Amino acid sequence: MKILLDHIIPTPLKDRFSQNGSAIWNTSVQFTQGEYIKIKAPSGTGKTTLVHILYQIRHDYEGKIVLDDRPATAITGDALALLRQKQVSIIFQDLRLFPQLTARENIELKRVMQQPFYESSVIHEMAAELGIEKILDQEAGLCSYGEQQRIAIIRSLMQPFEWLIMDEPFSHLDIENTKKAAALIARECRKRDAGFIITDLDEDSHFTYSRQLHL
């Protein structure tokens, strides 16, 4: 799936970005499936806003987004759900887990939301890979932030996708765990011929990026 951002300006940040030489805002930019896109920007410049606009949970912007040949605004209801189940997966900066469910149930939810992409045993394999297999049956609300971040990462990899959108996905992980998580993400993207869009504050070498854009 191709993603075209055509002169997007978030309404709340309109005044600030119109003067700026951003590679995303108020310009035309296209992402082709399979690309590894890094979007770098300091705090408060709209990384999360961009992620939410791309994932269509914010609509307060000017310009338009086209997914393949469909305007994003035309995709609503069940069609939008289908897009989120099969084509676009996400890791939120604020993680958005159900605190009352266990770690396993949070991950399982995304596995069974559509025709399962993986057997349930894969949950344990991935959890072991990221070192959280012991907390799988613990309520997510009782897990540490770093553990929750890894739960959110595994959850996003339970479904089929063409694009994985990540909003500062390693912000609470140490270097070792970040490496493990990045390796897992890269492997899963390759398996699906998928691309990703990742936002972060700084330069990094977690992935071999196709493009690095400044917001």
Partner 1 sequence: MHGLNVLLKKIIRSGTGCSRYMMAMTGLSFAIILMLTAVQLQADYRDLLYSKNNRDSVANFLVINKTITDQNLGAAGLTESEIKDLQNQAYVESVGLLTPSRFKASIQSASDRFPFYTDIAFESVPKEFIDITAKDWTWNENAMFIPIIAPNMFLDFYNFQFSFSQNLPQLTQQVVKMIVFKVNVYGPKGMVTFNGRVVGFSDRISSLLVPEEFMNWGNTVFGKKQDLKPSRVIIKTRDAGNPQLTAYLKGKNLSTDADKTRFSKYRRVVDIVVSISGVTGIILFSFALLVFTLFIQLTVASSREDIRLLITLGTSPSQLRGFLFLRFLPGTLVIILLSFCMVGIIQFLLYTQLTNQGIFLSRLPDITTVLAALLIAGVIWMVTGFSIKKCMKEPLELRGHR
Applying CB under 8 A, which residues contact partner 1? 52, 56-60, 77-78, 81-85, 96, 98, 100-101, 105, 108-114, 159
Asked whether the beta carbons of 167 and 188 are under 8 A apart, the reply is no
Using CA atoms, how far residue 56 sits from 53, 120, 131, in Å, is: 5, 29, 32
Q: How far is the CB of 197 from partner 1 (least distance, A)?
A: 17
DSSP secondary structure string, 98-148?
-TTSBHHHHHHHHHHSSS-SS-THHHHHHHHHHT-GGGTTSBGGGS-HHHH
Place of tokens 């894969």: 122
Q: How far is the CB of 98 from partner 1 (least distance, A)?
A: 6
Closer to partner 1 by Cβ: residue 67 or 206: 67
Q: How far is the CB of 153 from partner 1 (least distance, A)?
A: 14
Closer to partner 1 by Cβ: residue 116 or 131: 116
Closer to partner 1 by Cβ: residue 40 or 111: 111
Q: How far is the CB of 205 from partner 1 (least distance, A)?
A: 30
In whole angstroms, give the CA distance from residue 192 to residue 211. 19
Closer to partner 1 by Cβ: residue 95 or 132: 95
In whole angstroms, give the CA distance from residue 173 to residue 152. 12
Asked whether the beta carbons of 136 and 123 are under 8 A apart, the reply is yes
Q: How far is the CB of 203 from partner 1 (least distance, A)?
A: 28
Closer to partner 1 by Cβ: residue 72 or 198: 72
Of 36, 1, 5, 3, the closest CA to residue 22 belongs to 5
Any residues with CB less than 8 A from the CB of 24 and at least 6 apart, and which? Answer: 5, 8, 39, 50, 213, 215
Q: How far is the CB of 151 from partner 1 (least distance, A)?
A: 13
In whole angstroms, give the CA distance from residue 122 to residue 111. 10
Closer to partner 1 by Cβ: residue 110 or 206: 110
